[in-house]
Amino acid sequence: MPSRYEQALQALNRRGRLRALEGRAGVDFTSNDYLGLAESDALRGAVAEALARGVPVGAGGSRLLRGNHPEHEALESEAARFFGAQSALYFGSGFAANAALISTLPQRGDLVAHDALIHASARDGLNGARADVREIAHNDATQAEDVIRAWRADHADGRCFIAIESLYSMDGDVAPLDDYVAIADRHGATLLVDEAHATGVRGPQGRGLAAHLEGRDNIVSLHTCGKALGASGALLLMPDVLRRFMINRCKPFIYATAPSPLMAATVRAALKICAASDDARAALDARVAHLSNHLARMGLPASGTQIQPIILGADRKAVSVAAALAADGFDVRAIRPPTVPEGTSRLRITLGTRHANADIDALMARLQRHVGDLAA
């Protein structure tokens, strides 16, 4: 008799939703290494240089004990200057930072209004939050304001938080940031902006889509270091008082072993490379435009960013097309619920400086062959 775990796995398999780890193979249209830094000589050199000057691999404890290292503090200081914020706090992963932020800052008697397509890490944080939670339709700033206004009618005190992504990880579309910050200003709210997929590739010097908003006292942004920056970890950019509050109240920060000082040194190097990578960002934009031209000829909507979904609907169809593309030598993964809404299983194509236009041409030719008339 199979165990309940085996039964759950069998149920996932019947629905075409069983996941398994796969190796790297084929032309990479899957990773978030948008600027090609993850395997670059530049970051390898930064690691070697840091090791040569004695930076340790491990931290040895939480940062409130023995784990706080000068590399952590140097990274946070340099990141705050680079992004234009008062202060920064470094976490071991983007998931941990996002979940920690949302479970810590909103207090009992507060409100969190969040976009319907917010990342799973934010939802994990919401599950641990003591505040009231309201979901708003995707990129619907008007509804966000309506929700806040209605909540305020019954809650004279308490603070409102608006949780969004600047560039959405599965749809590749962009939030109306200026509309949201205007709402935050009108209602004394704080805007929590996940810049994970904008960091490094959008905004001046790759400082993100919310770069023009950084430094305000009602903005908190998250910049992951494991995507365009090619390293790992995440930086929360925020007013200094909120950083001090997180250090004192955020359990995932207080009780976790500190991130590797060696990785902090690597991220410091990545930020310097990022600041000087306008040519790489221009090359990436050219790849995005090339793919968009293909999509226009196919009658499909283009996201206009380095993340392009191809919505196929059925779970099994997405899996079968991804498998066919893998056999052709292309690494494009199927994304299924619960990562995306029911009925919107898709292929998620990501572009990077690693691609030539010929790679995109070849992928789209094979995609058309496998799925036929996508616009129907």
3-class DSSP string for 121-157: HHHHHHHCCCCEEEEECCCCHHHHHHHHHHHHHHCCC
Q: How far apart are CA 131 and CA 257, in angstroms?
A: 27
List 69, 227, 290, 355, catalytic entry: 227
pTM of the model: 0.93
Q: Are residues 88 and 205 in the same domain?
A: yes
Q: Are residues 118 and 171 in the same domain?
A: yes
**188: CATH:** 3.40.640.10
| Sign of the Cα pseudo-torsion (238, 75, 284, 349, in order) | negative
Q: Are residues 250 and 155 in the same domain?
A: yes
- Asked if residue 19 lies in contact with residue 345, where contact means CB atoms within 8 angstroms, the answer is no
**327: CATH:** 3.90.1150.10
- Each of the 376 residues of the chain gets a pLDDT tens digit; together they read 679 999 999 999 888 888 888 888 899 999 999 999 999 999 999 999 999 999 999 999 999 999 999 999 999 999 999 999 999 999 999 999 999 999 999 999 999 999 999 999 999 999 988 999 999 999 999 999 999 999 999 887 899 999 999 999 999 999 999 999 999 999 999 999 999 999 999 999 999 999 999 999 999 999 999 999 999 999 999 999 999 999 999 999 999 999 999 999 999 999 999 999 999 999 999 999 999 999 999 999 999 999 999 999 999 999 999 999 999 999 999 999 999 999 999 999 999 999 999 999 999 999 998 987 565 4
Residue 166 falls in the annotated catalytic set: no
Backbone angles phi, psi at 350, to 5 degrees: -115, 140
Tell me the residue range of the domain where 309 lies: 15-35+277-371
Helices 177-187/141-154 angle, 10° precision: 20
Q: Are residues 82 and 127 in the same domain?
A: yes
Residue 6 falls in the annotated catalytic set: no
Q: Are residues 71 and 210 in the same domain?
A: yes
Q: Are residues 73 and 21 in the same domain?
A: no
In a domain, 99, yes or no: yes
In a domain, 286, yes or no: yes
Q: Are residues 290 and 235 in the same domain?
A: no
In a domain, 7, yes or no: no
List 33, 71, 145, 194, catalytic entry: 194
Q: Are residues 177 and 222 in the same domain?
A: yes
Q: How many domains does the chain have?
A: 2
List 114, 197, 290, 355, catalytic entry: 197
Residue 279 falls in the annotated catalytic set: no
Q: Are residues 177 and 324 in the same domain?
A: no
In a domain, 246, yes or no: yes
In a domain, 9, yes or no: no
* Single residue among 208, 242, 275 that ends a domain in this structure: 275
Residue 69 falls in the annotated catalytic set: no
Q: Are residues 142 and 240 in the same domain?
A: yes
List 71, 110, 165, 195, catalytic entry: 165
List 166, 169, 232, 303, catalytic entry: 169
Q: Are residues 134 and 88 in the same domain?
A: yes
Residue 165 falls in the annotated catalytic set: yes
In a domain, 6, yes or no: no
In a domain, 240, yes or no: yes
Q: How far apart are CA 82 and CA 37, in angstroms?
A: 18
> What's the token pair of residue 118?
């917010």
* Single residue among 275, 305, 331 that ends a domain in this structure: 275
Residue 197 falls in the annotated catalytic set: yes
Q: Are residues 300 and 327 in the same domain?
A: yes
* Single residue among 241, 275, 309 that ends a domain in this structure: 275
List 69, 72, 114, 119, catalytic entry: 119
Residue 77 falls in the annotated catalytic set: no
Backbone angles phi, psi at 330, to 5 degrees: -120, 130
Q: How far apart are CA 372 and CA 152, in angstroms?
A: 51
